[in-house]
Structure 1
Amino acid sequence: MFVDDNAVCGLETGSILRDLGYQVVSLYDAAGAFEALAADQPLLALVTDVDLGPGPDGFDIARAARLSHPGLPVVYISGTASTRHVAEGVPGSEFVAKPCNPAEVAGALARALGRLEA
């Protein structure tokens, strides 16, 4: 699952991740992410922007995702929340600062998934 309120970033990064063989469900707000989590679909990993506008943020989404998918690999992306990641991010998560290129996100996702498989 890839959540980012910036559609351009979502399209570009989602496309790169698909090219690497991942099945990507792109969502553009917290409400959509919570709906997808409620559908209880299989989930390999979560990549989420932290700042999603008013209301719940990426930290909230990751905590909810970990309730239904314990140990889920999580990658946060943000231009403003790097200092909050240590205090608010789920354990074992990765963080990529914006502006980020899709290769950075793909690398962080691979590291997060590697920890799951170890």
Structure 2
Amino acid sequence: MSIIYELLYLDIRTIVLIPRIERLINHLFVVLVFSLAFVGVAEVMYWLYKKEYLRAKAKYLRELIDQKNDLSSLNEPFYTCVYEKWNSGEMPLTEANTMCSLKFEQN
């Protein structure tokens, strides 16, 4: 009996260490499906957040232009500074906002 158990143990061990081609194909299929699902979800999330970011940026720019054109506002020079720096291509919108806020805080 012990010889039979040793042979069974040896056989199972070789199957685990060296899987057959069907098991390899199944594993590769599972890995491929998981990878495609992961990339698909990542792409959907990226485009949804990018769309939301662009909407928020457009809303901020509309408000910035409205406030820049409101000459009765006390903050009109700040918004004009931000708009001019961004519109000229001198710097991105966030940097222009930071630069102008530093400039007007010092004054």
TM-score by length of 1: 0.30
Structure with the largest fraction of helix: 2
Structure with higher Rg: it is 2
Structure with the largest fraction of strand: 1
TM-score by length of 2: 0.32
